[in-house]
A and B are shown apart, each in its own frame.
Chain A
Amino acid sequence: MRLLLALALALLALPALAPAAQAVEPSEMLPDPALEARARDIGRNLRCVVCQNQSIDDSAAEVAHDMRRAVRDRLSAGDGDTQVYAFMVARYGDYVLLKPPFKPGTLVLWLGAPVLLLVAGGALLVAARRRRAASTPQPLSDEEQRRLDALLKRDA
């Protein structure tokens, strides 16, 4: 039983241990490991334009290959990371960024869910407070207390 459990756990952990699918071919890599590492970081954040939701580093598509090469060309030419991203956005638009930028056009995307959560949470809180206020018994007024005392005394 314990062995089975261990096996199941190992299976669950497997995808986390295995290296992510990489489409970067050895022939594409830059000789300078630092530059190649930067290229990988950028490649992970750029979206392949023909595969909906894969980074160019994960995609074997022709265009993804060309984009990886362009990233390395720009880096080798001395471009900074932001310049490389700008190069891609100038050609493919914000679509090419896997993490969309924070700007007026994307406000709903970034803030929609948190705002909705706050509004819903607030509404729930207000409702809960009201219910508690309604269900808390009011203390008896002096008049009511006197009547109660009188009734109790009569029965006794």
Chain B
Amino acid sequence: MKSNRLLFLLPLLTLCAMAVFFGWALLSGRDPASIGSVMVGRPAPKLEGVELGGGKPKLVNFFASWCAPCLAEHPLFTRLKEREGTAIVGIAWKDKPEATRAWLAKLGDPFKQLLFDQEGKTALDWGLSGVPETYLIDGQGIVRLHFRGPITEQDLKERILPLLKSGS
């Protein structure tokens, strides 16, 4: 008879379990739309004419002149270059070179090296889903961070700068 009475508590317990799960899903700050990245922790794919992993960390930024979020994150790269002297490699994705150059001439060019990926073939090797996306490659040439979408002030302070300052 006792076990039967416990059975009546089952719906309540189920409800509690669901509430905990939904609460976690809402509050944990996890983004269900994020597709993640398998690049992090792996050696960075080759880039023609660019040395990755030469002892100093580098940023690789895929962008395009037609991309509005790229415009939004652009000042952060300028600041990184001017204040930290960070080496940033810019890769213009599906953009006409003259449009890219005009865009950079107008806004300032924070890139140490500029590459063009008009067909999106390089992007595929980097597991790119669109622009902008940014990768941090450490001194050993390993991808340490991969941002899908524009980087923010917070990303810069909390994730990029600590890794850049730790050297390697």
Question: Does B bind A?
Answer: yes
Does A91 reach chain B (CB closer than 8 Å)?
yes
**Contacting pair B129 A91 (CB below 8 A):** no
**Contacting pair B35 A95 (CB below 8 A):** yes
Q: Would you give the 0/1 interface string for A95-118, flagging 1 where the beta carbon is closer than 8 Å to chain B?
A: 100000000000000000000000
**Contacting pair B36 A66 (CB below 8 A):** no
Report if A49-B120 is in contact (Cβ < 8 Å); known contacts: A62-B94, A63-B128: no
SS of B interface (majority): loop
- How distant is the Cα of A66 from the Cα of B94 in the complex, in angstroms? 11
Does A30 reach chain B (CB closer than 8 Å)?
no
Chain A contact patch, size range: 10 to 19
Does A77 reach chain B (CB closer than 8 Å)?
no
**Contacting pair A50 B124 (CB below 8 A):** no
**Total A-B pairs, Cβ < 8 A:** 40
- How distant is the Cα of A62 from the Cα of B129 in the complex, in angstroms? 9
On chain B, the residues within 8 Å of A89 by CB distance are 38
Within the complex, the shortest CB–CB distance from B31 to chain A, in Å, comes to: 13
Does A29 reach chain B (CB closer than 8 Å)?
no
Q: Which residues of A contact B (CB under 8 A)?
A: 49-50, 52, 62-63, 66-67, 70, 89-93, 95
Q: Which residues of B contact A (CB under 8 A)?
A: 33, 35-39, 94, 119-121, 123-130
Further 20 A-B residue pairs, CB within 8 A, beyond A62-B120, A66-B124 = A49-B129, A50-B129, A52-B33, A62-B130, A63-B123, A63-B130, A66-B119, A67-B124, A70-B121, A70-B124, A89-B38, A91-B38, A91-B39, A91-B126, A91-B127, A92-B35, A92-B38, A93-B37, A95-B35, A95-B36
A-B contact pairs, 16 of them (CB 8 A): A49-B35, A62-B120, A63-B128, A63-B129, A63-B130, A66-B121, A67-B124, A70-B124, A89-B38, A91-B38, A91-B126, A91-B127, A92-B35, A93-B35, A93-B36, A95-B36
